[in-house]
Amino acid sequence: MTLLGKIFTVLIFIMSMVFASFAVAVYATHRNWRDEVMREADEVKPGQMVGYKEQLKTAEEKYEQLSEEKRTLEDQLAMEQAARRQALAGLEARRRSLEAQVAALETRNAELTQSNREAITRVATAEDKVVAIKDEVAALRTRNQTVQTDRDSLLVKVRELTDNIHMSRSVRANLEERRNQLAVELSKRKEVMDRHGISADEPADATPPKIEGVVTAVSKSGLIEISIGSDDGLRIGHTVEVFDGKSYGGRAEVIKTTPDRAVGKIIKEYQKRDLKKGDNVATRLGNK
């Protein structure tokens, strides 16, 4: 082998190493967005998270769980409020009854006091009767004190029930605030989905994202190559619209995708003119 041949051999070896390094670098930086979306829990490696689809499913399950807990708490709150209203009504009736009894006892006490005054004027002749009346008055006073003690206990219970009612109203206010927050969040999500033309009833892969590209090649067999691919969210079965600045060209169905390219088959029913390299493509036109 001549010296020139050896030099070429060394150069070829060096260039092979350089290209191999480029290939390793490109492979290391490549990111498979489909895996990022579809990765399940049993496929998670150290340093990775479950796919966006699984995260969305988890969030929806959490939302349903919170909604069920809210409904349960609302039912419990309604039952507790009804029970407390009933108990409060019973206590109120008992309080009125006790007040009536106290009023009757006070009336009776006044009558006995008057009788006592009259007895004092007849003390010389009715000493025994005065002693009996005094004993009766003492008994009535003891009974009156007992009634007052019971009334004070009932007032304490009424205060406790009132505090419980205020606490229940506070819990209900917090639940109402949480429900309003969830409603606002749901409204915002629906607004974003409507803005992007996404229906909640459609599968996630059935609706392509709104992306645009250009036609990079057109074949005579009715195929076109476009500058967007699977990394942009395009999938086999999606359709793209072809147009230029002046006119609508037609529609093509994606039959093959790569990370940055895709091949589409022209749908004859929608073709308005001959498609050409440089035409614009989009998954949706306008606000569609």
Q: Give pLDDT, residue 125.
A: 81
Partners of 239 in the β-ladder: 253
Quickly count: other Cβ atoms within 10 Å of residue 266's Cβ: 21
Instruction: Match 């074949």 to its residue by tokens.
Output: 219
Q: Give pLDDT, residue 131.
A: 84
| Host H or E run for residue 242 | strand 239-243
Low-confidence ranges of the chain (pLDDT < 70): 1, 26-36, 39, 41-45, 47-48, 50, 126, 189-207, 286-288
- Residue 125 CA: distances (Å) to CA of 8, 115, 141, 224: 152, 15, 26, 132
Q: Give pLDDT, residue 245.
A: 79
Instruction: Match 């409204």 to its residue by tokens.
Output: 187
Q: Give pLDDT, residue 102.
A: 92
Quickly count: other Cβ atoms within 10 Å of residue 60's Cβ: 10
* pTM, full prediction: 0.33
Q: Give pLDDT, residue 161.
A: 87
pLDDT tens readout for residues 11-37 = 888 888 888 887 777 666 655 656 667
Q: Give pLDDT, residue 150.
A: 86
With pLDDT > 70 as the criterion, what percentage of the chain qualifies?
84
Q: Which of 253, 245, 78 is nearest to 171 (CA)?
A: 78
Encoded tokens for 199: 């229906």
pLDDT tens readout for residues 136-182 = 888 888 888 888 888 888 888 888 888 888 888 888 888 888 888 88
Dihedral pair phi/psi, residue 125, rounded to 5°: -105, -10
In angstroms, the CA 215 to CA 169 distance is 64
